[in-house]
Amino acid sequence: MNISVVGTGYVGLVTGAVFADLGNDAVCVDKDPAKIEMLRAGQMPIYEPGLEELVHRNVADGRLSFTTELEPAVRRSDIVFIAVGTPPKASGESDLSAVEEVALGIARAIDRYKVIVNKSTVPVGTGDLVRDIIQRNRRRPIDFDVVSNPEFLREGSAIEDTLRPDRIVIGAPSQQVAMTLLELYAPLERPMIITDVHSAEMIKYASNAFLAMKISFINAIANLCELASADVTQVVKGMGLDPRIGRDFLQPGLGYGGSCFPKDTDSLIQTAASLGYDFRLLRAAVEVNRERAQRFVALIRKILDPVEDRVVAVLGLAFKAKTDDMREARSVEVIQGLLEAGARVRAYDPAAMANAKAVLPAVEYCQSSYDAADGADAVAIVTEWNEFKLLNLERLRGLMRRPLVFDGRNIYEPERMRRLGFEYHSIGRRPVFPA
């Protein structure tokens, strides 16, 4: 099929590259000329394992191309995916201005029947909005349909999640329209669910909100474990063996971040309010998440007191491992809290330092974990990169002024840290001190 994907962020670029790899003719559209020039030069605007190779292969085979011109891309396509950003407004509502702009461009370009697919994460009713914009602004009464096809990819494993998704959700106005998407996705041989458009839009938000609540729940339990001298990792093990609960998204830490969970939970709360429902349960989950980084900083300040002029090595800047994404990264709150207390911060991340410098300019960026820890009064683990799990901890201890580790992701075993001579503070577990 001929498809176009508007937007070259995580969702759009991965979607275009994967569909091209499945044998379709795909063109990715973005209004940012610099980004398109990067892609044409073979450079990726985002860090995502395996993406560069996938893009290069399909560009070389002539199935994938990039352009800033929306109208020609729409005219050549049978299916047009909208995959632009929907950032939060100050109120928590989703900013749909980019979606509206693309819908207007599609209206001006449409010259024959098309299926328009909302791939962006959008509130319930956005499909109606897109349909209304195209109907009011099309130059001729050409037929089209609007479909909701939410994505469920995770940064760091986006290609795997797109090729082997748990489920493919297609919200279509009719079975006939849904068949077009079914045909496109058929080579993946994955479970598909066909719903109405509104239900598909709700599935995305409901899924992310539920996972966010699981994360906040286990973090609240971690707080209780600290007060009760219990071990949250053992609690998680005991809970997770119950098939009704499972272990996924029960990792205590500094809370959720990134481009999805914070934005989507706030947006769903606002959508509920607009419909007359006070989503108190979700508001509580958001509040628990909001205080996670503050609690971590308070612990560091308490143990290091006085903090002024102390050197803290922060390991991990991206909101999660295997990405360079700094959106809603807990490192920003942690580092800002330490700087405000007068600490000196040295930081290292395997992928996100270039992006971090734009939001955290007052930090000394280092070439490695060991470089960051050299002469430090404490190390704070903020992102769970495997590289940090595999550090030579004896070497790390030897470099530090004080063998003190604050582990915001519980990547180390407390007893091992005690034997190695560290004072070790983690999440939901008792602190340990050198033997």
Q: Which residues are catalytic?
A: 260
Whether 133 contacts 98, CB under 8 Å: no
3-state secondary structure the chain: CEEEEECCCHHHHHHHHHHHHCCCEEEEECCCHHHHHHHHCCCCCCCCCCHHHHHHHHHHCCCEEEECCHHHHHHCCCEEEECCCCCECCCCCECCHHHHHHHHHHHHHCCCCEEEEECCCCCCCHHHHHHHHHHHHCCCCCCEEEEECCCCCCCCCHHHHHHCCCCEEEECCCHHHHHHHHHHHHHHCCCEEEECHHHHHHHHHHHHHHHHHHHHHHHHHHHHHHHHCCCHHHHHHHHHCCCCCCCCCCCCCCCCCCCCHHHHHHHHHHHHHHCCCCCHHHHHHHHHHHCHHHHHHHHHHHHHCCCCCCEEEEECCCCCCCCCCCCCCHHHHHHHHHHHCCCEEEEECCCCHHHHHHHCCCCEECCCHHHHHCCCCEEEECCCCHHHHCCCHHHHHHHCCCCEEEECCCCCCHHHHHHCCCEEECCCCCCECCC
Q: Which residues pair with 297 in a beta bridge?
A: none
Residue 239, φ and ψ in degrees, nearest 5: -70, -45
Residue 101 phi/psi, 5-degree rounding, is -65, -40
User: How many residues can be counted in the chain?
Assistant: 435
Phi-psi region of 356 (alpha: psi -120 to 50; beta: other; left: phi over 0): alpha
**50 vs 221: CA distance, rounded Å:** 36
